[in-house]
């Protein structure tokens, strides 16, 4: 315990258990923080680009995830270090805001930290380094605006959207089907998009998966897919022009809310109770028939007796449907969710052109397709694959592609991928550094060097000589004044990313640079790390 004394000689405690606390200050603290951040970035560095490697992660329960999505890797990693957690948050922010570029943003932050460490060792104050990085990020964002290319798309011409989604999918495990998956993602986004307001609600796109079949069997359904089957095996498997009653009340007699008991001491009383129950079921089924419903979808289960009665009355039903699915069915069919039987009216029924049950494989797996709906603004992407891990990774890849298509509808500017944008920004920042007379000039040059780490990682992961490849591309960009030259990862034979159709969204790239700079500034400003005492 550390004691100090006031002017009257009375002792007081400054920091309890001082000697048992580990404490890092000044340059040591900054170096420790930087090495923690760089360690996280190095893990993801090998997963960058179309030839990036996948990581296999095992949860405490024994579940295995195979992915190269930066946000997923960091989410599932057990990171104890506080700076490591900051890098996880950085990746999560990029995923939340943009949906793609989660690996690149962490790699960029790691490169900035490495450059910052060299400057600190040369005696430059961390605040001056942070200010230099801030100036550089502003130059980079402005330069990206200049080299960005706007493209025009419409509901009928979506080729550019598809090409940009293909760039995102080319780094995933699903790249052999990237064309078909990109087309599915773009069609899904265009189906739910409001092009006038440039707004897309991705909640209207449901992504379902089922083990079996091939990845090529993945399809887009203009309607809703429910992982349920009809409640009775003898109910019809296909209903045309369906009128759907969507219920959130159970198909059973109401339970009294009081604690009264009913004593049954004779057979007659038991028969009366049974008849009363039957009447409840009868009235419920009749109510559904009276309003014109040809299909009942219920959030809760129902009694076997009610199920039998529904089958006899020729009223197909589906039970135990989740709340999210009910909401999507209501949006797609134009129906209303009914909480009580008394409120069921013909106006509240949803309408669908076709409801069919489909069986999968040799097992009893069945799913319900609700198609040709009144409001086709709710769609489902149905993924097939050889195993559960493949389906989960495809879902993550589709999510990235959907986010890219949404971002392009919001802002239709693109920059060229393959590290072309980073190299172009690096050249622009290097040229601008001479205009700053102060110590910040060193930090600005360091930022330019850090940007080169992304194309170098792409070259390294593609089996090329990183320094040699980067030098050749950089000199070609300066010589031809062409900001489209990048790393030829797929060995096509040209460095021009315009010819290779490798695009990235402008807002995604700008967000990457801004977020990486913010996190690095935050880490540089920490000069004291006090760990709790261990008991």
Question: 46, 102, 218, 380: which one is catalytic?
Answer: 102
103 noted as active-site residue: yes
Helix, coil or strand: residue 165: helix
Encoding tokens for residue 121? 């060792």
| Contact by Cβ (8 Å): 21, 15 | yes
User: Does 158 qualify as catalytic in the annotation?
Assistant: no
The dihedral region occupied by 6, where left means phi > 0, alpha psi between -120 and 50, and beta the remainder, is beta
The active-site residue out of 65, 67, 69, 95 is: 69
Using alpha carbons, select from 245, 240, 337, 352 the residue that is nearest to residue 291: 245
Tokens of 485: 């030259």
What's the rounded Cα separation, in Å, for the pair 458 and 480?
Answer: 22
Which position has the token pair 């760039």? 167
What residue has token string 């007699």?
253
Any residues with CB less than 8 A from the CB of 455 and at least 6 apart, and which? 418, 419, 422, 423, 469, 470, 473, 486, 487
In whole angstroms, give the CA distance from residue 454 to residue 360: 44
Listed in sequence order, the residues at least 6 apart from 283 whose beta carbon sits closer than 8 Å to its beta carbon are none
Contact indicator for 229, 355 with CB cutoff of 8 Å: no
516 near 108, Cβ under 8 Å? yes
Task: Indicate if 69 belongs to the active site.
Answer: yes
- Hey, which residues are catalytic here? 69, 102-103, 400
């Amino acid at each position: 315990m550390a004691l100090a004394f006031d002017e009257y000689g009375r002792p007081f405690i400054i920091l309890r258990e001082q000697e048992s606390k580990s404490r890092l200050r000044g340059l040591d603290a900054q170096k420790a923080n930087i090495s923690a951040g760089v360690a996280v970035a190095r893990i993801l560095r090998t997963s960058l680009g179309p030839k990036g490697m996948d990581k296999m992660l095992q949860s405490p329960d024994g579940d295995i995830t195979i992915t190269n999505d930066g946000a997923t890797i960091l989410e599932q990693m057990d990171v104890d270090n506080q700076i490591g957690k900051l890098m996880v948050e950085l990746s999560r922010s990029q995923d939340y805001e943009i949906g793609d570029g989660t690996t690149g943003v962490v790699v960029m932050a790691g490169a900035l930290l490495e450059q910052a460490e060299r400057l600190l060792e040369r005696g430059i104050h961390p605040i001056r380094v942070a200010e230099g990085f801030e100036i550089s990020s502003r130059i980079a964002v402005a330069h990206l605006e200049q080299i960005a290319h706007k493209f025009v798309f419409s509901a009928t011409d979506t080729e550019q959207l598809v090409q940009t989604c293909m760039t995102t999918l080319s780094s995933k495990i699903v790249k052999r089907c990237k064309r078909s998956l990109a087309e599915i993602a773009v069609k899904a986004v265009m189906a739910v998009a409001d092009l006038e307001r440039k707004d897309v609600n991705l909640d209207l796109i449901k992504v379902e998966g089922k083990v079996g079949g091939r990845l090529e069997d993945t399809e887009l359904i203009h309607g809703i897919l429910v992982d349920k089957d009809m409640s009775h095996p003898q109910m019809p498997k296909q209903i045309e022009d369906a009128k759907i009653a969507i219920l959130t009340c159970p198909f059973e007699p109401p339970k009294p809310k009081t604690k009264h008991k009913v004593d049954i001491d004779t057979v007659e009383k038991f028969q009366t109770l049974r008849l009363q129950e039957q009447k409840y079921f009868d009235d419920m089924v009749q109510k559904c028939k009276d309003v014109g419903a040809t299909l009942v979808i219920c959030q809760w289960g129902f009694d076997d007796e009610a199920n039998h009665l529904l089958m006899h009355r020729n009223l197909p039903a589906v039970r135990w449907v989740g709340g999210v699915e009910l909401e999507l069915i209501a949006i797609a069919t134009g129906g209303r969710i009914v909480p009580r039987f008394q409120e069921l009216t013909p106006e509240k029924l949803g309408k669908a052109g076709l409801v069919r049950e489909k069986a999968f494989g040799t097992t009893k797996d069945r799913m319900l397709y609700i198609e040709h709906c009144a409001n086709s603004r709710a769609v489902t992407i149905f993924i097939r694959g050889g195993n559960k891990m493949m389906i989960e990774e495809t879902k993550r890849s589709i999510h990235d592609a959907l986010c890219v298509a949404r971002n392009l509808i919001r802002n239709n500017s693109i920059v060229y991928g393959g590290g072309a944008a980073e190299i172009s920004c690096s050249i622009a920042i290097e040229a601008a550094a001479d205009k700053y007379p102060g110590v910040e000039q060193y930090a600005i040059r360091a930022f330019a060097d850090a940007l080169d780490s992304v194309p170098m990682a792409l070259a390294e992961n593609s089996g090329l000589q990183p320094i040699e490849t980067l030098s050749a591309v950089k000199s070609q960009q300066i010589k031809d004044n062409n900001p489209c030259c990048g790393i030829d990862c797929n060995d096509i034979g040209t460095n021009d990313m315009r010819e290779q159709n490798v695009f990235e969204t402008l807002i995604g790239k700008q967000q990457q640079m801004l977020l990486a700079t913010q996190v690095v500034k935050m880490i540089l400003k920490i000069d004291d790390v006090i760990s709790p005492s261990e008991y």
